[in-house]
Chains A and B, each alone.
Chain A
Amino acid sequence: MASMLLNSLRNCPVCPAWAVQSAARSLSTTVQLQAQVQTKSKKTLARPNVKNIVLVEGVRTPFLLSGTTYSDLMPHDLARAALQGLLHRTAIPKDVVDYIIYGTVIQEVKTSNVAREAALGAGFSDKIPSHTVTMACISSNQAMTSAVGLIAAGQCDAVVAGGVEFMSDVPIRHSRKMRKTMLSLNKAKTLGQRLSLLGSIRLAHLSPELPAVAEFSTSETMGHSADRLAAAFGVSRVEQDEFALRSHSLAKKAQDAGLLQDVISFKVPGRDIVSQDNGIRPSSMEQMAKLKPAFIKPHGTVTAANSSFLTDGASAVLIMSEEKALAMGYKPKAYLRDFVYVSQDPKDQLLLGPTYGTPKVLERAGLTMSDIDVFEFHEAFAGQIMANLKAMDSDWFAQTYMGRKSKVGTPPMDKFNLWGGSLSLGHPFGATGCRLVTTVAHRLQKEGGQYGLVAACAAGGQGHAMVIEAYPK
């Protein structure tokens, strides 16, 4: 508790009065918790002299297994569909938006600023500047928090943020040697020079370079790292399969119950209208047990069934200052409150972002774990989620690696990813962040909670967490 007080003070130098207040409230929470009373530490996270920033709407295209219906599109087509869906849902005039930011990971070289291409194609005014950000699996989180920053700084009032990933087509390059030869060929002046360059091409030059979901710093693929992480925390194969099954079952339930309202229908040119995610496939433990490990052979535990799959998809959210939203007659879905980015060892703690991010953002907001009604964690691998849960439940880990006095504590499973997650809905790297935030907003509305927490890990050993507050009804 003392450390929490210190943290609040440190993080909020401009409003010490508030910090003391929050600490006092936190203190009282502990007492209340002991008395088993479920009241919040704080009624709201609104702060004097700080702009309230709201999520007005969030949409996404259906997330599809890569290589299926979207396979002939380009990334900006998907992003365009999400943007058009957002325009349609909000009916916002095309020139009111001040700025557009998109997140993406594997970039199509032709549309490297995919935000701009998609915005133009979606019919937004060509006077709206747009840029693209990349931060691995938390790229669209970065897009949203950039938007929050722009609004908080008074630069903008309405920003569209989103993310897109298109794994059906990835840039496969010529080998470095071949590229070098081809570039020299461009500069060659005489026929002789050209012929000698062509003659220098060997068979080995023709082998292509494929992009891999691997760390540049360690050359380790993410699945391999996830398997080691699971082993480090003693997560068994059965635990992972169970969690994956849970994700698929919950997603299926949510889909059937029509809870996934953020999904828009998308008429794919030359194909049918797509209106549902197609990766949700609840199986059985027996069937999942049959799969062989995908990365560490033969004794690994991460399989195709307990990992998120390669996905095509795009998402978009409209973020505004509360004043502007109300002035335009919108009913916001939620407040976007405190957020943090964390980073750690990209080798042995690659996917532990949620463990590091969760306590940090809660302390920043002056909340405790029990204040959170809705948890939405990004599920990269079932093993990664289980490892994070175990890390959050370990005093030793908290003391040794996080400089904390005691463990973070684990989210209760009856509040955790109740509408499925990346394992079942799919995980278009750049687009997942917006899905998480929108889902929290929708779940808060549906379940009647006050605070939600988003947490995600990302390649490079980075992580993100954000607190979302329900908008009063």
Chain B
Amino acid sequence: MCFPLLIFFFLPHQARTHVSYELKDDVAVIRLNDPTSKVNTLSVQMQAELTEVMGEVWSNGAVKSAVFISTKPGCFIAGADINMIQACKSSEEVTSLSREGQKMFEKIEKSPIPIVAAINGSCLGGGLEFAIACQYRVATKSRKTILGTPEVMLGLLPGAGGTQRLPKMVGLPGAFDMMLTGRNIRADKAKKMGLVHQLVDPLGPGLKPAEERTIEYLEEVAVGVAKGIANKKVSLTKEKGFMQKLQDTVMGLGPVRKQIYKTVSDKVQKQTKGLYPAPVKIIEVRDCKGVKRVFFFCFFSSNFGKLAMTSESRALIGLYQGQVICKKNHYGTPEKEVKKLAILGAGLMGAGIAQVSVDKGLTTILKDTAVDGISRGEQQVYKGLNDKVKKKALTSFARDTILSNLSAQLDYSSFKSADMVIEAVFEDINIKHKVLKEVEAVIPPHCIFASNTSALPIKDIAAASKRPEKVIGMHYFSPVDKMQLLEIITTDKTSKDTTASAVSVGLKQGKIIIVVGDGPGFYTTRCLAPMLAEAVRVLQEGVGPKRLDALTTSFGFPVGAATLADEVGIDVAAHVAEDLGKAFGSRFGGGNVDVLKTMVEKGFKGRKSGKGCYIYGKGKKDKSVNPDAEEILKKYKLAAHPAISTDSDIQYRLVSRFVNEAVLCLQENILRNPVEGDIGAVFGLGFPPCLGGPFRFVDSFGAERLVGIMKRFEDIYGNQFTPCQLLLDHAKNPSKKFHK
């Protein structure tokens, strides 16, 4: 008689859409699923429903334990809702949001019944803070299951108690590592660290699809654990080993803690150069043991609020969102999927492209003209994959299976079945024409010809083609397996389907993609060239490579300008400077191209030749200034203008030319929108991420202020510093912004 009543009692009062729960014996299984999105976030709706459901669970005396689980495949909770934070107008608003989150998590932490978090898929940011507030965590050992606190990458800090709970769980050093790097931690590592208690293996298909059954299985295991905790069969405290106890004791000592904070602070200071406020705040928030909890949480929430309002955080969030946009194909589904890819040239670039392609299951041909070249290229691909095996990100068997997608050859045999050819041969228009003609003689009609050139206009290359609609530019960045950006260049004649195909291949290779118009240097190279020209002039004016590097890195560039030139290759830089100099005239002037040419003549081609601005030893960090290069610079010495040679002037001379050229690219429709401009500059060229890209920099720095600075330089150096029309428009009208 009681049953129907009971069931009625458990029915929700009103339709809940994000959170539901059912009773399995005396365990409340609370299921999360945001029907409006691909991922679960701690949105306002989710939080409200959670609070409501938890209220019901806690007030139900029949419930002895609870399980949180997401029914969304591949995602537990991916974090807080970024839009929610972005929508806040003031730091007070964000502070109150953070405080709401904390309150809920604190309730969960102090729950009278044990709560088990059953984690499958991404458990990030607020999601992880939520999970660690629970008493027990079970996670699937799936590749998709990742735990982490990526807030720092958005210029924030773990806003809902993570800074306090994490160190208790994984120790202070581990917690700092997680919070300051924001890196993702795989389930097996999380188990080792003590972040999760128990692992569940992902299942294959059974009577249902694998993913569905795995979630069900995870729930079954979690329910078992929850029951076990409730009737004291499963212990919550793990017996600590001797080393753990020792470590805890040592960490508990005041001076030791102080030393840790100091070391971490110094390290952070060194790496961020004070440009990123979030890591500093994370340490600060952590370093206040003894403050009463209530006060502490207030202090802490307000820090979160302040951070969310910083321009750095806005910039980083903007980059995150831009990156999401640039990981979609906006050109539709290609008519024919590329399954077989041919790459011409097994050099650093060619082999790099091969590596990221075979990795994703593309059948790849690597063609070169010499056996030595092929051997070197194949070795590069093997090494790239084998390094992953060493890091245990890949099994040796998977490596071999992946490598079976690669075939290296000297001739054009089997090009007849290729769907796309990417050439990565020497940057010389005549060689490009030659291979284009050779390739077109053997490939099928639907096959796309893509050129991986960094500066030659695609239409010039396509001029030799019988089918220019199938010709496109795919500009990869070196090293291809590390650099995320791919710049795709379309000409007037490139067909939309060709673009769609190129984008789809790029996405498959895991790239962030910007699609730009054709022209000398396209977008990225064209922005970089004037900055490097200025860098050469700065060097000629007697600023040494070390100081130049220090000036650029302290502005936020991850790699200093002199080091960057060495990395790109002095020969490439010389080539580009000369080509673009011809194309754009005196505006691309500045340093003397002969400096670069002389260096190339002497064999100082940068890191690849062991000597450039620096001399490179065997170790990665082992480098010293190349005295011979300094000799050359002395030969071409220019007098510095004292009026514009302070540290900050030099920085702005470099940056303003970069930014002005970027804005000009937008003005000339090389760029389609500022978002792609920002993404290209940050991910391809290392523009300071804390500034969010050239366009966001103009927005936050102020166009008028920038124009003012540039005018000062223009008076001395002329048109190299003339602000472009679009920049002037923005300067005149401060309400004009690139980003809304």
Q: Interface residues, chain A, CB within 8 Å of chain B?
A: 216-219, 224, 227-229, 231-234, 296, 298-299, 345, 347-349, 387, 390-391, 394, 396-397, 400-401
In the complex, 13 of the A-B residue pairs with CB atoms within 8 angstroms, ordered by the A residue number, are: A216-B397, A218-B397, A224-B201, A228-B203, A229-B206, A231-B203, A231-B217, A232-B207, A234-B206, A299-B221, A348-B203, A397-B207, A401-B205
Cβ–Cβ contact B395 & A219, under 8 A: yes
- A contact residues around B201 at 8 Å (CB): 224, 227-228, 231, 296
Cβ–Cβ contact B204 & A348, under 8 A: yes
- CA gap between A217 and B396 in the complex, in Å: 8
- CA gap between A150 and B204 in the complex, in Å: 39
- A contact residues around B198 at 8 Å (CB): 298-299
B13 close to A (CB within 8 Å):
no
Q: How far is the CB of A39 from chain B (nearest CB, A)?
A: 33
Chain A residue nearest to B207 in the complex (CB): A394
Chain A residue nearest to B200 in the complex (CB): A299
Q: How far is the CB of A390 from chain B (nearest CB, A)?
A: 6
- CA gap between A299 and B198 in the complex, in Å: 10
B208 close to A (CB within 8 Å):
yes
Q: How far is the CB of A301 from chain B (nearest CB, A)?
A: 11
B213 close to A (CB within 8 Å):
yes
Q: How far is the CB of A410 from chain B (nearest CB, A)?
A: 13
Cβ–Cβ contact B221 & A233, under 8 A: no
Chain B residue nearest to A395 in the complex (CB): B207
Cβ–Cβ contact A217 & B397, under 8 A: yes
B441 close to A (CB within 8 Å):
no
Q: How far is the CB of A42 from chain B (nearest CB, A)?
A: 33
- B contact residues around A228 at 8 Å (CB): 201, 203-204
Given contacts A217-B397, A218-B395, A218-B397, contact A396 B204 (CB under 8 A): no
- B contact residues around A401 at 8 Å (CB): 205
Chain B residue nearest to A347 in the complex (CB): B204
Chain A residue nearest to B199 in the complex (CB): A296
Given contacts A216-B397, A232-B213, A299-B221, contact A397 B205 (CB under 8 A): yes
Given contacts A299-B200, A299-B221, A299-B224, contact A232 B397 (CB under 8 A): no
Q: Interface residues, chain B, CB within 8 Å of chain A?
A: 198, 200-201, 203-210, 213, 217, 221, 224-225, 395, 397
- A contact residues around B210 at 8 Å (CB): 232, 348
Cβ–Cβ contact B205 & A387, under 8 A: no
Q: How far is the CB of A406 from chain B (nearest CB, A)?
A: 15
Q: How far is the CB of B220 from chain A (nearest CB, A)?
A: 8
Chain A residue nearest to B224 in the complex (CB): A299
- A contact residues around B207 at 8 Å (CB): 232-234, 390-391, 394, 396-397
Chain A residue nearest to B213 in the complex (CB): A232
- A contact residues around B225 at 8 Å (CB): 299
Given contacts A218-B397, A219-B395, A299-B221, contact A400 B205 (CB under 8 A): yes
- CA gap between A391 and B213 in the complex, in Å: 14
Q: How far is the CB of A202 from chain B (nearest CB, A)?
A: 20
- CA gap between A227 and B209 in the complex, in Å: 17
Nearest 9 Cβ contacts at the A-B interface: A348-B204, A232-B206, A233-B206, A232-B203, A217-B397, A299-B221, A394-B207, A232-B204, A231-B217
Which of A217, A229, A299, A387 has the largest count of B CB atoms less than 10 A from its CB?
A299
- CA gap between A273 and B204 in the complex, in Å: 46
Chain A residue nearest to B221 in the complex (CB): A299
Q: How far is the CB of B199 from chain A (nearest CB, A)?
A: 9
- CA gap between A348 and B204 in the complex, in Å: 5
Q: How far is the CB of A407 from chain B (nearest CB, A)?
A: 11
- A contact residues around B217 at 8 Å (CB): 231-232
Q: How far is the CB of A232 from chain B (nearest CB, A)?
A: 3
Q: How far is the CB of A349 from chain B (nearest CB, A)?
A: 6
Contacts A224-B201, A229-B206 supplied; 7 other A-B pairs, CB < 8 Å: A228-B203, A232-B203, A234-B213, A296-B201, A348-B203, A391-B206, A400-B205
Cβ–Cβ contact B208 & A396, under 8 A: yes
- CA gap between A216 and B397 in the complex, in Å: 8
Q: How far is the CB of A457 from chain B (nearest CB, A)?
A: 14
Q: How far is the CB of B516 from chain A (nearest CB, A)?
A: 42
Cβ–Cβ contact B205 & A232, under 8 A: yes
Q: How far is the CB of A155 from chain B (nearest CB, A)?
A: 35
Q: How far is the CB of B711 from chain A (nearest CB, A)?
A: 66
Q: How far is the CB of B213 from chain A (nearest CB, A)?
A: 6
Q: How far is the CB of B463 from chain A (nearest CB, A)?
A: 50
Chain B residue nearest to A230 in the complex (CB): B206
Chain B residue nearest to A348 in the complex (CB): B204
Which of A218, A219, A233 has the largest count of B CB atoms less than 10 A from its CB?
A233
Q: How far is the CB of B388 from chain A (nearest CB, A)?
A: 15
- CA gap between A130 and B208 in the complex, in Å: 47
- CA gap between A228 and B206 in the complex, in Å: 10
- CA gap between A347 and B203 in the complex, in Å: 10
- B contact residues around A396 at 8 Å (CB): 207-208
Chain B residue nearest to A235 in the complex (CB): B206
Q: How far is the CB of B473 from chain A (nearest CB, A)?
A: 40
- A contact residues around B205 at 8 Å (CB): 232, 348-349, 397, 400-401
Q: How far is the CB of B321 from chain A (nearest CB, A)?
A: 37
CB < 8 Å: which of B200, B204, B397 contacts A349?
Answer: B204
Q: How far is the CB of A355 from chain B (nearest CB, A)?
A: 11
Q: How far is the CB of B553 from chain A (nearest CB, A)?
A: 41
Chain B residue nearest to A296 in the complex (CB): B201
- A contact residues around B224 at 8 Å (CB): 299
Q: How far is the CB of B198 from chain A (nearest CB, A)?
A: 8
Chain A residue nearest to B400 in the complex (CB): A217
- CA gap between A349 and B203 in the complex, in Å: 10
Chain B residue nearest to A232 in the complex (CB): B206
- CA gap between A224 and B201 in the complex, in Å: 9
Chain A residue nearest to B208 in the complex (CB): A396
CB < 8 Å: which of B200, B204, B208 contacts A229?
Answer: B204
Q: How far is the CB of B562 from chain A (nearest CB, A)?
A: 43
- B contact residues around A217 at 8 Å (CB): 397
- B contact residues around A400 at 8 Å (CB): 205, 209
- CA gap between A387 and B201 in the complex, in Å: 17
- A contact residues around B397 at 8 Å (CB): 216-219
CB < 8 Å: which of B200, B206, B209, B221 contacts A387?
Answer: B206
- CA gap between A224 and B203 in the complex, in Å: 11
- CA gap between A349 and B204 in the complex, in Å: 7
- CA gap between A101 and B504 in the complex, in Å: 53
- A contact residues around B204 at 8 Å (CB): 228-229, 232, 345, 347-349
- B contact residues around A391 at 8 Å (CB): 206-207
Chain B residue nearest to A390 in the complex (CB): B207
- B contact residues around A227 at 8 Å (CB): 201
- B contact residues around A397 at 8 Å (CB): 205-207
Cβ–Cβ contact B395 & A390, under 8 A: no
- B contact residues around A298 at 8 Å (CB): 198
Q: How far is the CB of A191 from chain B (nearest CB, A)?
A: 34
Q: How far is the CB of B400 from chain A (nearest CB, A)?
A: 9
- B contact residues around A216 at 8 Å (CB): 397
- CA gap between A74 and B308 in the complex, in Å: 73
- CA gap between A219 and B201 in the complex, in Å: 14
Which of A218, A234, A345, A396 has the largest count of B CB atoms less than 10 A from its CB?
A234
Chain A residue nearest to B204 in the complex (CB): A348
- B contact residues around A232 at 8 Å (CB): 203-207, 210, 213, 217
- B contact residues around A390 at 8 Å (CB): 206-207
Q: How far is the CB of A53 from chain B (nearest CB, A)?
A: 37
Q: How far is the CB of B73 from chain A (nearest CB, A)?
A: 16
- B contact residues around A345 at 8 Å (CB): 204
Chain B residue nearest to A220 in the complex (CB): B201
- CA gap between A473 and B732 in the complex, in Å: 107
- A contact residues around B200 at 8 Å (CB): 299
Which of B204, B213, B397 has the largest count of A CB atoms less than 10 A from its CB?
B204
- CA gap between A370 and B518 in the complex, in Å: 70
Q: How far is the CB of B300 from chain A (nearest CB, A)?
A: 37
Q: How far is the CB of B229 from chain A (nearest CB, A)?
A: 13
- CA gap between A224 and B225 in the complex, in Å: 20
- CA gap between A234 and B216 in the complex, in Å: 10
- B contact residues around A234 at 8 Å (CB): 206-207, 213
- CA gap between A387 and B205 in the complex, in Å: 11
